[in-house]
Amino acid sequence: MPYELPDSCNDNWSWSKREKSHEVKLLGKRNRTALFHPNWSNGTAGVRGTRNINDGRHYWEVKVSQRIFGTSMMFGIGTKRSRLHIDAFLNMLGEDDQSWGMSHKGLLWHRGDSKNYTKPFIENESTTIGILFDSNQGTLSYFKDGEPLGVAFDVFKKIDSELYPIICSTAAKTEMSLGRRRRSYSSLQDRCRAVIIRNIADEKSLDELFLPNRLVEFIREAME
C-alpha cells in the first residue's frame, strides 16, 4: 500500500526550470518529468524542486523509468549551495555537508561518506521512490514501491538552511517523474484553502466566488 501522510493536502510543486543542470531536460505537464543526459552522459546532472520543505511534513514520490543503471541515480534533499552538475561520474547528493541522498545502489550519502541502507535496485526495472521529510522530528525517510525503508537521516533539527527536493543521475536517457506530493497543513487558513480547492472545478470557478484579490491569489498559488 502507498504511504498516506495523515492530516495533509495535495502539494503543488515541480522541478525548477532555472535550478538544474544543462544536461536535464524537463518534460510533460508543469515540468514534472526530468530527462537526464538526453544524448549521452559525461558526468552527473541534477535538478532541484521548487518547494521549500523546511516547515511541517512533506511526502513526494519519484517514478523512475526502467533505465536504472550506471554509477549513480540519487534521490534526496539539499540546500541551494549543493551542486547540480559535475563533469564526473559520482554520487553528487551527499558529496558534502549541503545535501543528503540515497543512491540506486542502496547506499546513503552525506559529507562524502556512505553507508548501507537497503538492497540495490534491480537494474532495468522501473520503481517508485517515496520520500518523507518531517521537519518536526528532523528526519528523512524513504519508501520503495510502497514499502517503508525506515529513517535514513535524523539530523535536520540542527539545519538552518532552506532545504529542497533534489534528484540526480549519471545515466544517459533516464527519466524520473514526480508522482504524488502531499504536505501537512501549516495553519487553519491553509486548511480552509484546501477545502475550497476540493470543492471548485477550476480557476474560473474561483473567480466566480467574488473573493478579495489577495485571498484569490492565496488560493490560486496552491492549485494545480
Give the residue extent of every domain in the chain. Answer: 8-184, 188-220
**SS3 of residue 210 by DSSP:** coil
- pLDDT given at position 216: 84
First CA to last CA distance, the chain: 25
Q: Is the pLDDT assigned to residue 224 strictly greater than 70?
A: no
- The DSSP string of 122-178 is PTT--EEEEEEEETTTTEEEEEETTEEEEEEE--GGG--S--EEEEEE-STTEEEEE
188-198 helix and 213-220 helix, angle to the nearest 10 degrees: 80
Of 161, 151, 115, 114, which is closest to residue 131 (Cα–Cα)? 151
Q: 87: which 3 cell numbers?
A: 563533469
Q: 172 versus 200: which is more confidently predicted?
A: 172
Q: 162 versus 208: which is more confidently predicted?
A: 162
- pLDDT given at position 55: 93
Averaged confidence pLDDT in the chain: 93
- pLDDT given at position 179: 96
Contact at 8 Å (CB) between 90 and 20? no
**Residue 69 burial (10 A CB sphere; 0-12, 13-18, 19+):** middle
Long-range contacts of 213-220 (CB under 8 A, 24+ apart): 218/189, 218/193, 219/193
Q: Is the pLDDT assigned to residue 113 strictly greater than 90?
A: yes
| pLDDT > 70 fraction of the chain, expressed in percent and rounded | 100
| pLDDT > 90 fraction of the chain, expressed in percent and rounded | 77
Q: DSSP character for 29? A: G
Contact at 8 Å (CB) between 43 and 89? yes
Q: Is the pLDDT assigned to residue 5 strictly greater than 90?
A: yes
- Averaged pLDDT, 98-107: 98
- CATH assignment of 8-184? 2.60.120.920
Neighbours of 83 (CB within 10 A): 17
- pLDDT given at position 217: 85
Residues 29-70 have pLDDT tens digits of 899 999 999 999 999 999 999 999 999 999 999 999 989 999
Residues 65-96 have pLDDT tens digits of 989 999 999 999 999 999 999 999 999 999 99
CA 221 remoteness from chain centre: 19
Residues 125-145 have pLDDT tens digits of 999 999 999 999 999 999 999
